[in-house]
């Protein structure tokens, strides 16, 4: 059953102070404005870039729209286009990535000065709407049908952004004075590289805690795995597939598929070795895993395969990360296992595979007793959405903020693991309202009332 705001009010009013009740009721009363805000955000085409040099779309227009709203609500805003060198040297971003037409936004609602500061963060980019013809309605013109708001990003994560922005606006409009600052930050490029949040951290965006309003279905996400993407090129030697071949030392052909399987078997053994290392496991995350993709390049059926490319997506738990959060040690271990396997094979020992690494994203974990965790859990329960503190299957910008000194959870409306990125993506309006209510309560409780 979906809880309506009326149910929420009845079931939980006893848990709220008079001031908190006022905030929650005001958000419920103005839910149409929250829906309109979400529809506005979805109306900007902020499809994520597929290639580093893809031109911007409506990112700048959306950020200006939010900046104007937040300024009107009393925030000090900073809208800036990062320079490529701002994020240079990070293992995360492709070298020279440019932000032209993709500004980042930070809006600060100053507190009275004595309390803890809280960061609300969301990414404005969305995945492609293709196959667009399969949508029931225009993915950029969101509409509400039977209590659900449909449009690209409704779930991941313009719904979450709308909830957090609306929560901040309501607190401002009610004149709720907080002791600590409330910072609202929207970034680009989460779906592609994570570069927007990295640029925000480099710009100095920091707080005592962060809430990234990804669609967690009211769970409080406290950990995610890091990702590495190695491409391992294994060389064979071409020869006529129909002719008998001498030994390779005598110039015979070498089948790259056979040699690639030496590497693949070694990494399969490494993966099962990881699963035995219980000291690295995180109680609420899947184990580290490697998903293998095989790519073959330029060959014909009458020749022995000359080379094979193995591409892996490696996801490893925070316990396996380096002290600074990155995956250097995991990278070295993969390279070491590949090297040891190839040394046992005379051809590969003389023709070693080549490993190339794509930009990575870091693992991160927030301790379950970080103050923001119980505060967010209680706030969500108090608006009728009890949840648990748990790990995130995907990745989120919170890892970047956490490594940057702001312990950041994810919490937001919609069920991202089911509905994100799909055709006819949606979030229920009740979810948007409950998330805005919970976020407003969390902000007041974390920052303290002045
Ligand atoms: Zn997302």
User: How many Cα atoms are found within 13 Å in the side-chain-facing hemisphere of 279?
Assistant: 2
Same domain membership, residue 339 and residue 242: yes
Whether residues 306 and 389 fall in one domain: no
For 316, the enclosing helix (H) or strand (E) is: strand 307-316
194 and 93 in a common domain: yes
What tokens appear for 66 in the block? 């939010």
Q: What is the CATH number of the domain that holds 353?
A: 3.30.70.360
- Shared domain for 319 and 429, answered yes or no, is no
Q: How far is the CA of 187 from the centre of ligand 1 (A)?
A: 11
Ligand 1 centroid – CA 417 distance (Å) = 10
Catalytic residue among 59, 86, 125, 219: 125
Q: For residue 2, what pLDDT is reported?
A: 37
Query: What is the per-residue pLDDT across 236-247, written as a single tens digit (0 to 9) for each?
Result: 999 988 888 999
> In this structure, how many other beta carbons lie within 10 angstroms of the beta carbon of residue 41?
26
Cα–ligand 1 centroid distance for 30 (angstroms): 26
pLDDT of residue 324: 87
| Centre of ligand 1 from the C-alpha of residue 242, in Å | 51
Are 286 and 415 members of one domain?
no
- Strand-pair category, 76-80 with 104-109: antiparallel
Give distance in angstroms: CA of 110 to centre of ligand 1.
Answer: 27
Residues of the chain with pLDDT under 70: 1-14, 294-300
Q: What is the pLDDT of residue 9?
A: 39
Residues 217 and 253 in one domain: no
Q: Please give the pLDDT value at position 283.
A: 86
297-321: b (≥16 Cβ within 10 Å) or e: eebeeeebbbbbbbbbebbbbbbbb
Q: Is 86 annotated as catalytic?
A: no
336 phi, psi to nearest 5 deg: -65, -45
Please provide the DSSP assignment of 135-193 as one string: -SS-TTS-EEETTEEESTTTTTTHHHHHHHHHHHHHHHHTTPPBSS-EEEEEES-TTTT
Q: Apex CA 91: angle with CA 206 and CA 400, to 5°?
A: 25
Asked whether residue 176 falls in the same domain as residue 54, the answer is: yes
pTM, 2 dp: 0.92
**Do residues 369 and 327 share a domain?**
no
What pLDDT was estimated at residue 305? 81
Which one-letter DSSP state was computed for residue 119? E
Do 138 and 114 lie in one domain? The reply is yes
Which of 332, 357, 382 lies at the terminal end of a domain, its last residue?
A: 357
> Which of 175, 147, 119, 165 lies closest to 400, judged by CA?
119
- pLDDT for 425: 97
- Identified catalytic residue from 169, 190, 219, 382: 190
CA–CA gap between residue 254 and residue 346 (Å, rounded):
12
pLDDT in tens, 342-371: 999 999 999 999 999 999 999 999 999 999
Range of the domain at 308: 226-357
Residue 422: DSSP 8-state: S
Give yes or no: 190 in active site: yes
Residues 104, 168 within the same domain: yes
Please give the distance, rounded to the nearest whole angstrom, from the Cα atom of residue 156 to the centre of ligand 1.
5
Give, as one character, the DSSP assignment of residue 320: G
The three-state secondary structure class of 291 is: strand
Ligand 1 midpoint to CA 152 (Å): 12
Final residue in a domain of this structure, among 326, 357, 388? 357
Same domain? 339 vs 204: no
Verify that 331 and 424 share a domain, yes or no: no
State how many domains the chain has: 2
Report the CATH number that the domain containing residue 35 is assigned in CATH.
3.40.630.10
The residue out of 293, 325, 357 marking a domain boundary is 357
User: What are the counts of helices (DSSP H) followed by strands (DSSP E) for the chain?
Assistant: 13, 17
pLDDT at residue 393, as a whole number: 86
What spacing in Å lies between the alpha carbon of 215 and ligand 1's midpoint? 7
What pLDDT, on the 0 to 100 scale, is given for residue 299? Answer: 64
CA of 189 to the centre of ligand 1 (A): 10
């Amino acid at each position: 059953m979906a809880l309506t705001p009326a149910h929420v009010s009845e079931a939980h009013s006893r848990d709220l102070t008079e001031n908190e009740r006022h905030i929650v009721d005001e958000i419920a009363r103005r839910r149409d404005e929250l829906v309109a805000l979400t529809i506005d955000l979805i109306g900007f085409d902020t499809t994520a870039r597929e290639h580093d040099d893809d031109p911007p779309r409506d990112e700048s227009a959306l950020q200006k729209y939010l900046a104007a709203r937040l300024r009107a609500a009393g925030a000090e805003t900073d809208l800036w286009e990062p320079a490529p060198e701002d994020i240079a040297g990070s293992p995360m971003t492709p070298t020279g990535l440019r932000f032209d037409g993709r500004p980042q936004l930070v809006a600060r609602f100053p507190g009275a000065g004595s309390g803890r500061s809280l960061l609300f963060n969301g990414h404005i980019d969305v995945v492609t709407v293709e196959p667009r013809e399969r949508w029931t309605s225009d993915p950029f013109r969101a509409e509400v049908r039977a209590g659900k708001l449909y449009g690209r990003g409704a779930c991941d994560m313009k719904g979450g952004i709308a909830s957090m922005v609306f929560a901040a606006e309501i607190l401002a409009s009610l004149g709720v004075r907080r002791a600590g600052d409330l910072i609202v930050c929207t970034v680009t490029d989460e779906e592609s590289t994570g570069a927007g949040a990295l640029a925000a951290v480099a710009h100095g965006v920091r707080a005592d805690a962060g809430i990234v309003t990804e669609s967690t279905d009211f769970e409080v996400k406290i950990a995610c795995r890091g990702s590495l993407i190695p491409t391992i090129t294994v060389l064979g030697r071409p020869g006529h597939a129909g002719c008998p071949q001498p030994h390779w030392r005598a110039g015979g052909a070498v089948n790259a598929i056979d040699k690639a399987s030496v590497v693949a078997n070694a990494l399969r053994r490494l993966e099962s070795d990881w699963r035995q290392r219980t000291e690295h496991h995180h109680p609420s995350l899947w184990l580290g895993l490697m998903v293998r993709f095989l790519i073959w390049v330029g060959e014909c059926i009458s020749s022995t395969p000359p080379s094979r490319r193995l591409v892996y997506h490696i996801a490893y738990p925070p316990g396996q990360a380096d002290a600074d959060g990155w995956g250097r040690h995991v990278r070295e271990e993969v390279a070491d296992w590949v090297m040891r396997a190839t040394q046992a094979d005379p051809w590969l020992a003389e023709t070693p595979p080549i490993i190339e690494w794509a930009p990575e994203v870091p693992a991160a974990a927030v301790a379950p007793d970080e103050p923001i965790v119980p505060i967010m859990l209680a706030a969500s329960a108090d608006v009728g959405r009890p949840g648990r503190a748990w790990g995130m299957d995907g990745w989120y910008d919170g890892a970047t903020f956490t490594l940057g000194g702001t312990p950041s959870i994810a919490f937001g409306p919609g069920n991202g693991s089911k509905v994100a990125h799909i055709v006819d993506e949606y979030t229920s309006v009740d979810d948007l309202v409950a998330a805005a209510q919970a976020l407003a309560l969390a902000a007041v409780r974390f920052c303290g009332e002045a």
